Every structure is written in structure tokens, then in C-alpha cells.
Structure 1
């Protein structure tokens, strides 16, 4: 503990005979003023600063500013936050460990000990993003998918096994165990963290950052955490604080309770819609009010999980009695529970209804007003009442110029059925958002049971799958006797991982895919996930709907989203009678009775040897050595070029002169559009590279699995099939105009030509640039393509930070201005003036856009480097360059 402790707050807490040192918030209040009404999330931040006060990165003025927040509700001050730990998943974790391995090489090449590079904070990496739904609707699906996963990812897993052995403070949860956020909620998270130091045990709030935006799920357990870019997480691992502005905190008050037949998924889609309309980007959201008494922790986790979808940094639930109940159910020991309760009550972090905090702003929801919902077809905040889905889909057809095709159908070769617009071709129970919640999973199982008993069947064009977030889920469904009914309807276990929600839906049957493409059909997926952006779930599926697990099963039975399940039948029973959704929807009491089968022995059994893995994992050969033995012929793991210049003197920032525009984008370009994700097409730059290196198309795997290879990833950057570059007319996909010749080509090929001619590049964009998951390759790929700056109308928090972390300058148009307002087409050359050693956070910079006719458009753009720490990173060429140079200079 740093512990300058100018407020003299270090205290001792005795809990059942155990002694803990802690930094007391009540003692701090004697000097800072009354902090009782501070939101609990702000108290966690205050404790973090109190404990890490060192007079340099954290000062007495920082502590005072946190207390003064109650007066202003908004304080424009930078603070340095030090999370207790870091959480990774394998898609983002592999490139993170690749970077650490590359840093070890750089240290070694500089004549220093590679052991300089080790995580200083505990790091857990959970392998959950690699399993794909290749096999489904079969008892052998799980076994086959795992076998295929191990074959595809052999090189990556060998690399992670090396990292597990080579790095200290780094643990790997093997494949086939669960989704990182659910493992975090059920096992890793502790609400109150402890650390041994100088013979004493220190207690403090459990906090973390994660390399996945849905890290926020853990806030349901009173653990403050959110997603950051892999770059920022790596820096946190290496002892760098997370630089942030003191946040605004929006209070979300809940009253009442959910009605019969309404699920936690319906609630979270409603909350997401409300908060998106409110506008909470970059803010904390904290939930409070008497309605929380009726909200199980699993429901809270569903809400916290989707913080990125409603735009908040996090959705925080303070610790209360329900937190303790859940921790006991999930197998935490009684000593931990006693500490959590005693510590939180002592520190004023325990939630009660009679002491509601004060917030920057508030909104309120009566839980009884929530209705059965879906969200789509391409944004999670676009909620639709279930009974309106069919009419909503017809509007989609009209909007897309297919109003006259509502009755269109296409025969499926070799089958006795046809496909039509709106048909459900993928129905997936997946994603940590809902598979962490026993009530919605039991509801799905009970609905399946009633459906089978009625004689209903899954429609034959539906690819169905079940991918829970932990093995505990399959344990309790089996114990409740519901697994056979899910299997009967084709919802066999396909793997423990994210699958469909991250685009690992696997291939559709050839004849289904052919019919969709031949008929240009707008077909649907229905998934219990959190993301449904264009091109994410499957390239053939244009309409993607988020729904609760029981509704996923229901739409698999109906086979179409052009229906109103409140009045249209799902199918016929054994006697030919119509079966309505209400006929098979389980009651709240039935669900509650099934949930009683969940017990803590299940959690203790499944997490008893969580890091051990199966025999195949344990048999993977582990390379020796402190530095990694890079294989030249590897197409999965390559030594990146990020640190090649680390031994060269650091140059000051300089103006960007006569840059060409690589692409012009409209609003809401997501990191899914920017970062390579999903399948790799054979005729794409990445596909060409793999084939040139002897990889057959069947072995391409996904972009996510190849994130440790910069050659693949930079070729896929800006390559999403649905991205639209405004420099081209009516063209979708990763293409641009190469300005010197006017030729249309892939963005990658154009970027390489510009780099060959030493031409700097910029990207122009609209509002909410970089919305979505914390994809580090959205920034890394941008850097490797030679982009020096992005000029956008606004940014999503994580991507802006990641751009800086890779040395790319984020600039922001002034309010009301943008590409269209300035008449820019992308044919101009762009110059940015004022970039020098004196550059300041938030500085206004002069931009000159010169057209081919010599006409100039001049405007100003704001430097969206927001803090002094971010400025240090940018001037060093990126955050990891900064850390590495600091380490080398200190030795």
C-alpha cells in the first residue's frame, strides 16, 4: 500500500477474530466533510485514492475534489485510479500477452533482464471466445465443437500455456469452463479484496478493469469495474494507473416488482432503452431504491452486464443483503462473507432504503411497467414490444425497398420447405448476459418441457444452440430434469463460451445459405445476447433480435419473427389444435420452484479445479524460456512491430502535413465495423494472406482467434462487410478510393500504397465513433494502416482511449460541425497545425482541408486527449511505449 495517508485514516477492523488493516472513509470525512450522501461507486473511488495517496499521482487535492463532488455533482478533474486486478478473455487476452512477450524481447534486446516485464496486478485470463457452433442439435455437438476448437487453436493455446508458466501473477482458466464475466461473477469476484503486505492483511474494495466491455457485469456484486482497451489493461498490469476524469453519476431508482411472465431480459432491454435516451455515455450509473429488494442478484448482473449497450462506464449495485446471499449460494467461504458485510457497513458502502445517495441526475422505473420485449434489428437499445415485432419487421422491409416482397418465398434445395423474409435461421441461448441468470434459463427449460409435451417441434430451417456461461448451468438444468426437453427441441449443449453473440455462430447449412443469398432474403436470428450490430452474428443474417432465453425457444418453434406471439399460434399440438405462447409459458411460481434446485455444492464442484483444465489442455506442450520462441511460419502468433523503435530517441509531436483521407464514415461506426471480427472471407486481404502462407480456407478459423497475428488483423481492419465508406457510392465493405489514381480498392491495399509513398492518413467520421466492445485491434489496426489522426463528431469512451494508447490522435469537430457541414468529400488533403511538444489536453487545433482545385476549407477541431496522463502516452507514441521507456530508463 502506498499510504501517505495525510488524513490519518489507517485503521484496524476485527472480523470474527481476524484482523484487517483498512483506510477509513468515516475518518476521512472528519477532514473532508460529510460524505454520507456520496453514491457508493464514488465512495469506492475515494477509498482507492485514499489508499494510494502518494503526493504525486494522488494528492490531498484529489481527495478534497472527491468530497466536493456533492456540491458540484460534476468536477472537471483528472484522477489516477488503481484497480485491484485485471480480467481478460482470450480474443483480447492473446494480443495482450503477445505484447508483453514482445516487450520482453525489447527489454532483452536492450541488454536488460526480461523479468522486468511481469504483471504487477493479479491477472486472470478466461478462454471463452474461441468455441464456434460448428455442430449443433446433436448429443455429440459439445464434444465435437471442443475437439475442433482445440485443433484450430493449438498454436494460441501453446502460447497461453507458455505465458501461464513464464509470467508471474497470471492465471489462465482453460477452454470449456465458462464465460469470463460469469466466472468472474460466480467465482473470481470477492466484493472486498485482501492483500498481504509486511505481515499485515489489508482489506479494500474489489475493483478491476477488463479487456471486454462487459466486464461491467461484476458491478452487480458491488465490484467497481469496466472495460478498457487491451492496451490500457496491459498498462494497468504493469503498474500504471488508469487515468480518468471524476465521473458524473446518474442514479436509476427502481420501485415495485416485475409482473408475472416478465423476465430480467425484458427489464434490461427496457433499462437500456431508457438510459440511451437519457444519455449516459462516459458516466457511472448507480441503481438504488426499494425495487432492488425485489431484484435477485442474477437480475442485477443482467442489467450491469449491458452497461456498454446503454453507454455508461458502469452500472453499479451497492453491496446489500442480497449480495451476501448470492455469494453464499455461489460457494464463497463464510470468512469472506463476514468480511464483506463488516467492511461495507463500517465504510458506509452497505445499501439501505432509508439512506438514498445524491446524484448528478436521476431517472425512475416502476418494475411493474416492464413488458415482454425484444431489441433489434441491429442495435441493442432499439426495444420492441413482443406483440409489435411482426409489424416492425414489415416496416423494415418497406424501409429497405422490399415492401412488395412480403409474400416472397424461396425453395430450399433438397428440402420440403421454403424460406421467407423474417424467418428465424438462428436461435441461440448464449451470452453471459442471460446465461448467468437461473430464472431465465429455468424458464427456457420449462417452456421447452411444456412445448415437447404438447408435441411442438423446432422448425427445420432454424439452427438452434445452447452455450451456457458456466458448467453450473448444465448442472442445475440437469438436476431440475429440464435438459432432455431442451435437447428434444435442438438446444443441445454446443460449448461453454460466447458463441453466437460474438459472431461464432458457425456456418448455416449450405442449402439455407444458398436460398437466403439467391432470394436476397432478410432473415432473422434470435439470441439471448447483448450485441446485434450489422454483420456481427452471421454474414447472411441482416436482422438480429435480442430476447430472453424462453423467447429464443419460442421463436425457434414459430420459425419466424413476422408474427405476434401474443395472438398468433406457435404451432399445433398432437391433436391438431393451436398452441399459444401463453399455453406453455411457465408461471413465476414454477420458475421459482425450479430455481430452488441451484445450490452452492454445484459451484464448489465446478470451481474446485477451475485452472486445471481437461486432459487435452494439460497435455499441451509448454515452451521453456523467459522470452517466447516466435515461430516464423505461425499464422496465429507473430512478434508485432510496435516496439521496433524503442531504442531510438523520442521525437516531439509534429504537424500532420498533406494527409490523404483513408475513409469517411457516417454516425455510429462501431468497433465491430473497425476491428476484424467473425469469419475470414477467402477473397479478402486477410484471406489472401492466409492462403499465401499455406492455410486452407477450411482452416481459416476466425479473426478473433488470429488476434495474435498483426499481419492478419491489419488486413481486416475496416473490413466489415456492412461498413460504408462515404467516399464510394453504394458500396458496402472495406473499400476506399485511392486518391492519387481514383481507383477503388481495399482499404488495406490503399493504406499500403500510401505507406510506401510516406503519405500520412486521416479518417473522418460522424457521431459516436467507436461504439461497442473494447476492441484493441480497432486502434492497433488503425495505427498499422498509417492513420495519424481521426476527426469525428464524437467518440465512445473506450475507443478514444485506445487510439491514444496506440499513438493515434483523436480530434473532434466543434459542435454542430462535421464532414457534411464543411462540405468534405474525402478527396481533400488534410493538414493539422499546432502539434508540438507544448500540446495540451483539450487544445483547439487548426485543420486545413485542401481540395483538388486548390480551394481550402479551414476549421478548428478539439484535441480529445483529455488528461495529462493521456498526453504523456500520446507523446511517447502510445501507452505501452511510455511504460517500456520508463522501465528501461529506471534501470
Structure 2
């Protein structure tokens, strides 16, 4: 229960549907001359309410409140620290399992130190949605869904037993069972309330719904007017254990939307355009808040689609304030009349409700986008910000084939461009060339939560089926709705059978292809692709298409709207101009054009209005916690301490706290460090963290085989995040990573500098650690772009890396490195590894690493080459706040919190 300090006398009451409730009024700060609420961006108002309500004079001080209240004076450009306390935490199972593993490990460590294990509990509500474990092994036919569910439960038995144990062991912790939907869609449709009622010492108090989540696309909830973003699992654990999120006061870029989407353009096309614009604007680490007349023309689902893609444009959030559209969506999704009235009343009392006539807030910078200029688009072949208009798709794909190897090129020679292969299957054969679509997946939280694009996909399928078209035989098609409500409204609209008729059967309810759970290509297709070394394509309605993520055989991956996913499955290739060439031919041989089967905006809206009903949400989410009989039938051992099994290949007690002492050791200088990897610009967390399939000849694959696991039972790296032995061996092991220490190679290898031998990164790390050699990693710009993968930091730490030297960092990964006790350092003045002449073969010393270390100070890194020549390189310590420094000093946030609870 929060202590009421209330130095600003801000606590008051207001009349809510359930009676009088407490409120911490922002207007009180205005009366005191500390702010003008209407001048603040709505997202800043939510942060301000949090610091005002949680002001206790210790963790949150009066100065914290005053500094944030004065946001409009500096427009967020002052380096002021904000301690933000979210109302709740959301986890998905890939990133959530290691969170719960760490909580269980903290309980074990607490017992070893003589403390009370029961003290280790989430102190704020935590919901874990199991959505990342289903894979697309089966994809054609009515049985695909049931067969995939069987495999999911079989593969994940140990993980699910562990989560079932956690469900009974921890207070404030709920688990949404498998087969319900994707975490962000479940959050949007059910878990989020916009306003919560909590208790403080004076009774019930209304607070804005806010959260952090262990998935970068937690930002989807910003479309509902709920402040939330993705953090690493380590940071989320801190919030679960009562620590605020410490962040620098954010800049807020206002994006004015005007106009209306034109005919033929979808919400996906809009979000790909927004992503392109904002990525160029360099909004990394900033809030983006949408405003203007165009916001009112957008459905809530369209807003959520844009908010979802915040990590792709680099922003911490893409925020839409609560307004009448929000209230309409809450009603449409089955929230009660009292809940909706509370949201409206509280938000209006607190000046958190957007209206057309409200004054425009102050922003750090304002951009503008005319929605009427949006055109049908895709993004790829390797990054979500590389938008390609549909009219240019054929040309862009062919240019990418020949372009130099890089984010937009594959570097094929003229001879290689001519390659082709035959797919032999059941007596039929198909000729495929570069660009053959081998995966077409309606998948991912970004789009499956949006009825307009899902209905549009169904209408394209319906019109295509009427003309006798279906997906090409070599295309692996899949439909993975983000919740069971999607199935309900597709059935109501009569579109489920149309999708099946062209090849799109429901394969599961969860995050599938977009996270790398695409499953294997059919053997004949994989054989043909491998034999001819083809650049084949995946087209998916997802948000991520980084190298090596979707499928190891599919090198060109394009993000597209669900109706375009269907279209490319019908066409069977990305080497086509769908605006001028036929998508296929009817049984009579007559060409069929895409425009003939593309629905009008009016057709789509009419189907949405008739088919998406509140009772569907009420029926699907009523009793959601205990609906899954297979989940309920899992046997567990009860108790407050988890019984670790030494033979488990899924769940192990991690070594982070194995040798923790009650006292903190001093910060020690770095001496004689060697470089483990030299990495280029835009190295993503997909490159760093283990994700996707486990190769049988990789260190992780060999480890599992030695433990008695056969390759077909490897499952994915994501499913084994609860086992540090597997994950450490898979760190920096992505099949597409390029380590400049081992030129001419691809994949997780390095040169062991003491002998010059090329070997797996894990093996080199073990050799260095065996003789006590500390390690560093050198990287380019935007290091750690992508998903909020805590194992990108945990694996780095367990490989013995003490510091990372980079040109710049993505927000979440930098924070995660600090949370694990790894020092992020940044080159100054636009310097890079290349401009400084660093090869990675040097030895590195950092003598200034002592207890005198300060946030963001400049320290000198001494790099000495083999001939004895030394360079002294000034670098910025990217420990950004005093609290982060405490985490680093303790060796990470887990040790920090454990020592605090022990004391």
C-alpha cells in the first residue's frame, strides 16, 4: 500500500460510477504555478500523474515532480531523470519465462543468504500471456490447428509445468493459457482498462492504466490511450519488484495527421509510411504523439496498428490520447458501461481526454503527414523501415538481388541471377526462380488485431476463390489470428471458408511467423531452394523482417497488409508488378488482375460493422484464465521454492546470483581485455540474442544432443530461454551475423586472437574465460536495434563481455546491458571504429573504472595494438542515471533488488 506523502496537496476526490474515488489532480500543480497542463503533451501528463501520486520524498522527490511539470519550458531537451512507476507489467512467454526463472532463482538465493524467500513476489499486477510457443508445422487442412497445438504442448511440457508452478507460487501473477491470442491483442481487447482503481492509505484512488511489457510491441496499447512500452525482461523484473523505471525526461515529437486514407490504402500501408518517415527523423528514444484532424478519422484499431510499430520507427512510444473513439472501442470490445463511464469521467477530470477543440499541446518538434498521400506498400527485404510502393515492387526486388550485400542488397552476379529450380511434389512440379513466395503468412499482433485488414484479406480470398484462384503449390500459407475473436468475426462474415479455399487455414492463436516460428518449409521446396541457392521471398503481415528471423531458407522478407499477403500467395512471386500484370488466370485461361479482386473501403467497413460484435469479446474472454483444459490438466508440484531439475533442458537455475554476497564489491578497472566480436551498423538483437531455429551443428545444438535431445525435438531458442546453458551458446550465433574479426565468414564465429584460430564465438569465449581474460565487443551505429530481448544482454554477460564500445545504441538494449552489469560506452563526436582505426585485434584497458564512476562521464579507453602502439579514445559512459549506476555497481538489477530486500 502506497504511503501518502502528498506534499503538493494534490489528492482530492471525484464522483465516479462506483461512488467517490481519490484523484491526484494535475490542476493542483497549475494552481501552484508549476505547470500549464494544457501545454503538456498528453503522454507527459500521464507520467506527471505518476510522479505526483508516487511522490514520497525518497524514491520520487518533489524536485522530480517540479522538473517534469516544467516539461514545456525545455520541451524535454534537459537531461532530467524521471522515476516512472507503471500500474502493471505484461509478459509474453518467450521473455516471460526467464523473468519467472529469475524470480524463482531470487527465492533460492534469498534462502541461501538466510532471508525469507516469500519476500520475492511481484509488487504490481503481472499478466503473462502464452503466445510465442506455437509453430507452423502443419498448415493445410482443418486439422492444422489441432496438430500444432498438440506439438506445442508436447514440446513445451517443462516450460508449461514451470509457469503453472509460478501461477500458484507467486502473488499478483496471472497466466493467460496458450491458444488464447497474441499478448498485445489480448492486452488491447481485454487486459487494458484505461483507468484502474487502486488503494492508498486514504482509500480507493483512480489512476491511469500504464504498463511496461517484455516485448517491444507492448507499444500497441498506446493506441488505446494507455502509456506503455517494451523493456527488457531484466528491467521488467525491477518494476515487478517495486522499482520505478528510471528514464531521462523524453522529447515528444508531435505528428500532425490530416486528411483521410484513400481508396485501396490500408492501415498497414499507413504504418509502413509512418515508419519510413519517423525512422528518417531519428526519433529513437523519443515519444511520438499523434494529433490533428486526421486522428479523428481513424479507427482505434488503425491507431493501435501505428502504435504497435513504434520499435520499427525507433520511438519509445507512438501515443494516441483517450477520446470518443477510445470509448467507442471499449464498448465494441465488451467493457462494461461502468468501466467506460469511469474512463470518460476520470480522463476529463484530469485533462487526459482529447477533444477537437482542445488547444494544441507544446511539442519538441512537429511533423505532418497527409493520410490521403498513403499508397499500397510493402517493406523489405531485410528491414521494416525500407518501404516499397506496390507500383515499384518488381523493380525494387530485382534491384535488391544485384545490389551489394547489405540491408537492401543480396550481391548476386549476372550468372547467379539466372538460377532456377524445380519443386517436385506428389508427381507435380513447379519451376521457381528468385522471388518465389515460399511463405505467405497472415500473422503478428500488428495487423491481426485490426478487423479492417483481416476482413479485407477475407474479401480478397472470397473474390479470388470465385474466379478459381488459389495459392501456388509451393507457398506455405498460414493464418494465425491474434485472438479467437478474429475467427468469430471471420465466420460471422462468411469469410473463413473463403480464406481456406485459397490456402489460408488457421494454424494457431499466437505469434508465429513474425517471431521466427514459421516452422520448416516443405521438404521439396527447401530442397529446391537449397540446390539452386535461390533468394526466395516471404510475405507476412508482421512487423519484423530482419535477416535470419523468418526462416533460414527465406532470405527476402516483405511486410505487407493481410490482403496483400493473400495476393502474393496467389501470384507466387515478388518478381511481379501486381498493378499491371495478372495475379493469375481463371480456369478458362482469362487473366485476373489484382484490382478485380480488391475490395472497396465501403465493402470492408460494411462487413466490419455487421460482423464485429461486443458479445464475441465477452464470450471469448469470459473465464479466460481456466478455459483451456489441456492447460488445466498439467500436473505441478506446489510450494514457494521451485525444485530445479539438473537434467532439464528447458528450465535451469541461472548463475547470475549463484555466488552473490550481502556486500557489494568495488567497481574494478578493465585490464588486458580482448575483443570477442567486431560488428557493423544496425546489428539487431536478433543478431545478438538466440532466436528462431537451433542448428544441429551449432554449439547449442551439440549441447542438446549431448543431453539426449534429438534435433527434431530442439524446439526454438525462444522456447529455451529458461536455460542459460542453451542461450549462452546461442548468443551472437545468428546465421546472418557478420563478425569483422573473421572476414569472409557468416554466422556466429570469431577469431581467437591468441592463436588466430577461427571458431564459434561460444568456444572462443570459454577459452578467454578459462584464463581470466575479460572481453569487449565493438559495434557500429544503432547497436541493439529490434526486439526487447533480455538474452541479448544476459548472453553477452555470460560470455564474459565486460564492455561494449559502439557508435550509438537502441534504447532498450543499452538499458538491458546496464541491468546486467555490462558497461555500454559510446564513441564521441561522430567517431566510429573505422575512423579511429580500430581493428578489434588490440588489447583494451579502462583504468578509470572505479567507484568514482559517474553517469554519462567521459572516460578514456586505451587500445594497444600488437606492435605496442597505443591509442587513447575518449568515450561516453552510457550509464544515463544515478540509479542505473547503482545497478551497475551491484553487478545488475537482480543483485541490487535482492540485497535491498535482504537488508
What TM-score results when the alignment is normalised by the length of structure 1? 0.99
The equivalent residue for 1:22 is 23
Give the 5 Å matches for 1:340-489. Answer: 340-354=343-357, 355-399=359-403, 400-414=411-425, 415-489=428-502
Question: Which consecutive residues of structure 2, in runs of 5 or more, have no partner in the other structure?
Answer: 404-410
DSSP 3-state at the match of 1:842 = coil
The equivalent residue for 2:183 is 180
The equivalent residue for 2:59 is 57
What is the deviation of 1:303?
0.2
The equivalent residue for 1:564 is 577
The equivalent residue for 2:407 is none
Number of residue pairs matched? Answer: 889
Matched, 1:804 2:818: yes
2:126 to 107, 112, 123: 123
Alpha-carbon displacement from aligned partner over 1:179-233 (angstroms, at most 9, x marks no partner): 0000000000011111134572210110100000000000011100000000000
Kept in 1, the 8 Å contact 2:29–2:69? The answer is: no
Matched, 1:214 2:228: no
The equivalent residue for 1:552 is 565
Distance 1:688 1:230 in 2: 27
Distance 2:268 2:91 in 1: 25
Give the 5 Å matches for 1:693-732. Answer: 693-732=707-746
The equivalent residue for 1:41 is 43
Kept in 2, the 8 Å contact 1:220–1:297? The answer is: yes
The equivalent residue for 1:749 is 763
Kept in 2, the 8 Å contact 1:394–1:406? The answer is: no
Distance 1:676 1:801 in 2: 19
Kept in 2, the 8 Å contact 1:505–1:537? The answer is: yes
The equivalent residue for 1:677 is 691
DSSP 3-state at the match of 1:416 = strand
The equivalent residue for 2:172 is 169
DSSP 3-state at the match of 1:124 = strand
The equivalent residue for 1:844 is 858
Matched, 1:609 2:623: yes
DSSP 3-state at the match of 2:630 = helix
Matched, 1:581 2:585: no
The equivalent residue for 1:76 is 79
Matched, 1:618 2:632: yes
Kept in 2, the 8 Å contact 1:173–1:613? The answer is: no
What TM-score results when the alignment is normalised by the length of structure 2? 0.98
Question: Which consecutive residues of structure 1, in runs of 5 or more, have no partner in the other structure?
Answer: none
Give the 5 Å matches for 1:482-521. Answer: 482-521=495-534
Matched, 1:735 2:736: no
What is the deviation of 1:815?
2.1
Kept in 1, the 8 Å contact 2:332–2:614? The answer is: yes
DSSP 3-state at the match of 2:38 = coil
Distance 1:471 1:199 in 2: 41
Distance 1:203 1:461 in 2: 55
Kept in 1, the 8 Å contact 2:452–2:605? The answer is: yes
What is the deviation of 1:4?
1.7
Alpha-carbon displacement from aligned partner over 1:526-583 (angstroms, at most 9, x marks no partner): 0000000000000111100000000000000000001111111011123221100000
Distance 1:199 1:832 in 2: 52
Distance 1:166 1:870 in 2: 30
Distance 2:795 2:308 in 1: 27
The equivalent residue for 1:13 is 14
What is the deviation of 1:465?
0.1
Alpha-carbon displacement from aligned partner over 1:666-707 (angstroms, at most 9, x marks no partner): 100000000000000000000000000000111000000000
The equivalent residue for 1:862 is 876
Give the 5 Å matches for 1:227-246. Answer: 227-246=230-249
Kept in 2, the 8 Å contact 1:175–1:613? The answer is: no
Kept in 1, the 8 Å contact 2:4–2:201? The answer is: no
Alpha-carbon displacement from aligned partner over 1:2-57 (angstroms, at most 9, x marks no partner): 33211111111102352110100112211113221100000001100100011122
Distance 1:229 1:457 in 2: 42
The equivalent residue for 2:604 is 591
What is the deviation of 1:405?
4.2
Alpha-carbon displacement from aligned partner over 1:447-479 (angstroms, at most 9, x marks no partner): 100000011111011000000110000000001
Distance 1:360 1:467 in 2: 39
Kept in 2, the 8 Å contact 1:793–1:815? The answer is: no
Distance 2:86 2:811 in 1: 18
What is the deviation of 1:827?
1.1
Distance 1:213 1:719 in 2: 21
Distance 2:441 2:546 in 1: 16
Matched, 1:143 2:157: no
